[in-house]
Structure 1
Amino acid sequence: MEGIAVQIIDIPEDSPKAQNIEITNCTYIGSYNWLERDTPTILVPGSPPQWLDKPMPYHVPIDKGVICCDRNGLNMPNTILLPLVVAVNKTTEYNNLPPFDWASVDFVLDRNALRKLMRWSNGTAHDFRFDLQLAGEKTVLVNRFPLKVLEEASGFSSRHNFEKQSMQSLPDCSEHYRIVTLKEMNGWKMVVRFEVDAYVPSEDNELAPGARNPDLGIGVDTQFRAMSLSSSNQEPKVLNAQQGGREIPASALVELTTRSALSNTEGNVLNWRDRYSQLLFSETASHFLALHQRGNYERLEKRSITAPEFKNAEEDAQKDIQKLIKVLGLIRNLVIEEGKEGRLSVVCMDKVLSIHKKHGRESCLPDFMMALFESA
């Protein structure tokens, strides 16, 4: 690991008298799909894949070959937060809204970062790393450091082929990402990005204000908006943003899990505590569990966040969230103390969490975008 370890972080103790933290003020501010292009290109607002609700049972072949496990890291390895900022700015522009107030934000990060820190707090984390940078006077940029962006299929999972058979995506589109603000996390305003697996269409599924191209795959705007992203400490980059797709209400969003029915036995059930936080931090309405035997998908279990499994997991998840708040507060103080020129990393290895001071001064966003976080 590059840099010097400056602090080891201990897992916070439980706070039995602490009030529950309710994530109720979750507001959509942008979304995008990656388009299959030679030059990195996002479609804004894009659309999640549409759930087809095919009758079961049906067979799905085992995944083969190389699979992308982090599209943002693959397409923009040095500026993973860049498409997030571009998508939010383009969403306000396309919907004729005032510019988003980036200077008011306390954290910009992926939901994945919140979940990994929570897993660390309850002793179930794998190794991870996030790079940290101060933007403006108070905004902490949490730049996910992908340990891998491509991986060889395991030879046991059929998740990707199941998605291909069970959903319909916009033409030439890959993963869909949604961006929201959370305002109940210790009073902080957080901008959170997460991947959406699917959405369920319905007759009364109203489109959000300013939604465009309501028919999937039809009428996608052909105008590209190219931006040259260069700064003194980065190689020139280009990210294209194309308008198209439609905004989908949170009530229609689905988180999908595929699992072997043979492994889903008593004593080895799904970790509902972890799935609860996944839905909570993104205001995702539903969880689908697709059960199969050697690729023969036989049963689909649909649950809302109010299902008994999630209600039973809520108390333990709240303990994790309380610890998460304490760790984020510590991280935030260290980043602000380090200042705009400082660069830190959060590293988890063998379940030990530490803060490292980096030697380089590379920025995770180009200079003109860093300026968005300065107070007027």
Structure 2
Amino acid sequence: MSSREQPSRLNFTNTRRRGGRLRPDYGNRFYFFGSRERGGGSAARPADNFPSEPDLKEGLDTTIIQTISTPAHPMVPEYFPIDNVKYVASYNWTGAEEPTIVVPGSPAIWTGRAVPFTLQPDEGYVWKNVQLPQYPMLPLFAAADAIHDQEAAPPVDWPTVDFVTDHNDLRKLLRWLSPSPGREVQDFRIDVQLVGTKTLVLRRWEIRPYWDHANRSYGHAFAAAMTRAAPDCPSSRHHRVIAYNMLNTKMVVRFGIDACLPSPGSSVATTYFDDSNLAPCAHSSMNAEQTSTSTTTTMSPAINIVRAGTQVPQDALVEVVSRSAYYLDRLDWNELYSQLALSQTPTLRMGVHEGGEFKELREWQLEGSGTRLGTSGQSETQKGADIQDLSAQRRETAVQIVRLERVLQDVQKVAIARGSGPAGSFSLVCEGGKLCVYARKVDSDGDGTSPSGSCLPPDVAARFETQKHVIL
């Protein structure tokens, strides 16, 4: 199967349902089968198209190479352990049949809506990692190259980076390190590859490659009701790539963004309760009379690049969630705060509902990176309700990120000791709360074309090789 055929580990060729039919869809990461908004019928599980869940150790050797230990709890650091945050790239997937991304793209624009209002629950199934399942990190590099070419931005010094990863993998490791009270650590797997002399590329691996909305949540419906797509940008999930220092570890992290705030001066309403003034988002550099340009990457597999949208400042990013009013006293701040901290998303907006009737919207503004950690205060505040002091949670999250950095360093030491090539391809498997390293099998010719092989194609992995200077 060629790379352009986009094989899916589900053996259900990346599809959308329309009127009972299926059509290819490589662009929209989030799609609801049986969605009421699209006139779909029952959200019953299409059993013929959903194979059984894959084995957690599929494609791995049976011998445990090493067990990763949980580090001791350190003292609270003086400063928050993430700093020097820099924008690297961003993009949206399109609905094209061939892999195509819009660079820099744009998140959905927060427009708001007056309360109260009622929404129908999310239904059906949502795909994860539909695009380029063998090389899910490849668009990160394609977008970074396009940003460098388009904006004359300085190139990323890839050989100096320690980790290239999805935000999702860091969150899995944090849950293993510090599980929320009353919750068991869920099994997970992260594929790892050493490229260059020290850089580890982490590849997301899903036990269940889709979300099931049978629990009648309202998160996607709420986000859709409170936002709209930026002009000339698809309504698919917006992906953002940033670089930062996690103490002494240089990270490049990709994450999804739900929304962004209108820029100052935009006529879009600045209050999150008002949707009376809707106008084109000032963050978008495209308008109806402008045309975008399109190129194709030289990397293999090729990715088409459409140049549209504009870079959104980090302080305009918004995480959008919904919660039932009946469970507000059970908010998992370990989960929420770490999610925002690892992506350095400064604003959290939460819709509070009773059975789908939204009556209140709450907002939290979180401090930026590298700030001093006090012992008390209200530097992070909640709007729309009583002030809530999150300084204790911030300190706890800081401690857990210090522990996470130590785990990452331990994994990096394992990789460097094993060396590059096939030996440098291994997987972290958490099973029953125990995190172990397993060697990953590669195809017979060693080029990593099997699903369990290389995390990056050879031409992209080569950029991590240290430059050799000839001394005359």
Alignment TM-score > 0.5, same fold: yes
**Structure 2 match to 1:9:** 68
2:179 is aligned with 1:123:
yes
Q: Which residue among 242, 253, 256 is the counterpart of 1:192?
A: 253
Match of 1:78 in 2: 134
Q: Secondary structure at the match of 1:25?
A: strand
Q: Which amino acid in the other structure matches residue 243 of structure 1? A: R
In the alignment, is the contact (CA less than 8 A) between 2:82 and 2:247 conserved in 1? no
Query: Could you tell me how far apart the structure 2 residues matched to 1:298 and 1:74 are?
Result: 35
Question: Which string of whole-angstrom CA distances, capped at 9 and with x for unpartnered residues, describes residues 185-223 of structure 1?
Answer: 232211011111111113258xxxxxx983566456443
Find the aligned partners of 2:419 and 2:334 in 1 and give their Cα distance.
36
Task: Report the CA distance shift for 1:29/1:35 in structure 2 as closer, same or farther (over 3 A).
Answer: same
Secondary structure of the structure 1 residue equivalent to 2:462: helix
Q: Counterpart of 2:85?
A: 26
Does the Cα contact within 8 Å between 2:299 and 2:460 map onto a contact in 1?
no
Q: State the partner residue of 1:43.
A: 102
- Shift in CA distance, 313/129, structure 1 to aligned 2, threshold 3 Å: same
CA contact (8 A) 1:272 1:309 kept: no
> Is the 8 Å Cα contact of residues 138 and 456 (structure 2) preserved in structure 1?
yes
Identify the residue that residue 152 of structure 2 maps to in structure 1: 96
Q: Counterparts of 1:335 and 1:75 in 2: how far apart (Å)?
A: 27
Is 1:172 the counterpart of 2:234 in the alignment?
A: yes
Matched, 1:114 2:170: yes
Residue-by-residue CA offset, 1:243-270 (whole Å, 9 max, x unaligned): 10111111111112211111213xx2x1
Distance 1:26 1:249 in 2: 11
The amino acid that maps onto 1:15 is P
Identical amino acids, percent of aligned pairs:
31
From 379, 386, 409, the equivalent of 1:329 is: 409
Confirm whether residue 317 of structure 1 aligns to residue 397 of structure 2.
yes
**Counterpart contact for 1:213–1:244, Cα < 8 Å:** no
Bigger mean CA offset, 339-348 vs 275-284: 275-284
CA distance in 1, matches of 2:254, 2:283: 23
Which residue does 2:420 correspond to in 1?
340
Per the TM alignment, residue 227 of structure 1 is displaced from its structure 2 partner at its CA by 3.1
Q: CA deviation at 1:155?
A: 4.6
Q: For the Cα contact (< 8 Å) 1:217–1:245, is it kept in 2?
A: no
Q: Is the 8 A contact 2:196 2:465 kept in 1?
A: yes
Task: Report 1:49-60 matches (<5 A).
Answer: 49-60=108-119
- Paired with 1:215 and 1:98, the residues of 2 have a C-alpha distance of 21
From 224, 227, 236, the equivalent of 2:297 is: 227
Aligned letter for 1:168?
Answer: R
Whether contact under 8 Å (1:220, 1:245) holds in the other structure is: no
- SS of aligned partner of 1:148: coil
Unpaired stretches in structure 1, ≥5 consecutive residues: 206-211, 231-236
Partner of 2:202: 142
Equivalence for 1:354 = 436
Q: CA deviation at 1:275?
A: 1.9
Residue 304 of structure 1 corresponds to which residue in structure 2? 365
Partner residue, 2:243: 181
Q: Kindly indicate whether the alpha-carbon contact (under 8 Å) linking 2:77 and 2:399 is maintained by their aligned counterparts in 1.
A: no
Distance, in Å, in 2 between the alignment partners of 1:137 and 1:126 is 32
1:4-50 per-position Cα deviation (integer Å, ceiling 9, x unaligned) = 32122222211237655432311111101111111121110000100
Q: Are positions 1:368 and 2:432 aligned together?
A: no
Q: 1:276 aligns to what? A: 337
User: Residues 5 and 356 of structure 1 are in contact (CA less than 8 Å); yes or no, is this contact kept in structure 2?
Assistant: yes
- In the other structure, the counterpart of 2:211 is 151
Following the alignment from structure 1 to structure 2, what is the Cα–Cα distance between the partners of residues 132 and 198?
A: 30
Segment of structure 1 superposing worse, 272-281 or 56-65:
272-281
SS at match of 1:123: coil
Partner of residue 233, structure 1: none
Structure 1 residue 175: Cα displacement: 0.5
C-alpha distance in structure 1 between counterparts of 2:341 and 2:283, whole Å: 29
Tell whether the 8 Å contact from 1:134 to 1:141 is kept in structure 2 after alignment. Answer: yes
Q: Which residue of 1 aligns with 2:326?
A: 262
1:107 deviates by 0.7
SS at match of 1:278: helix
Deviations 1:336-365 (A, max 9, x none): 111111211011122211111112142211
Where relative contact order (Cα < 8 A, 6+ residues apart) is larger, the structure is 1
The 3 A distance-change label for structure 1 pair 222 and 202 is closer
Contact map agreement 2:108 2:260 (CA 8 A) in 1: yes
2:193 is paired with a residue of what secondary structure? strand
Structure 1 range deviating more: 356-365 or 41-50: 356-365
Counterparts in 2 of 1:22 and 1:326: CA distance versus 1, 3 Å = closer
**Do residues 202 (structure 1) and 263 (structure 2) align?**
yes
**3-state SS of the aligned residue for 1:281?**
helix
Whole-Å separation in 2 of the counterparts to 1:368 and 1:202 = 39
Once the two structures are superposed, residues 100-141 of structure 1 have per-residue CA deviations (whole angstroms, 9 ceiling, x without a partner) of 221121110112222211111113432211111111111111
The residue identity in structure 2 corresponding to 1:58 is F
Bigger shift: residues 174-183 or 142-151 = 142-151
SS at match of 2:390: helix
Q: Which amino acid aligns with 1:225?
A: T
What residue identity is the alignment partner of 2:197? E
Match of 1:208 in 2: none
- Counterparts of 2:426 and 2:75 in 1: how far apart (Å)? 32
In structure 1, how many angstroms separate the alpha carbons of the residues matched to 2:299 and 2:188?
28
More strand by share: 1
What's the Cα RMSD here? Answer: 2.1
Is the 8 Å Cα contact of residues 26 and 282 (structure 1) preserved in structure 2?
no
Residues 253-312 of structure 1 deviation map (CA, whole Å, 9 limit, x = unaligned): 1112211111213xx2x1223222222222211111111111111111011012244312
Cα deviation, 1:41-94, whole Å, max 9, x if unaligned, reads: 1110000100111111111111122223x2xx2111010110111111111111
Structure 2 alignment gaps of length 5 or more? 1-56, 267-281, 367-379, 382-387, 443-447, 468-472
Stretch of structure 1 that moved more, 103-112 or 165-174: 165-174
- Equivalent residue letter for 1:260: S
Give the Cα separation in 1 of the matches to 2:462 and 2:289: 35
Q: More displaced, 317-326 or 15-24? A: 15-24
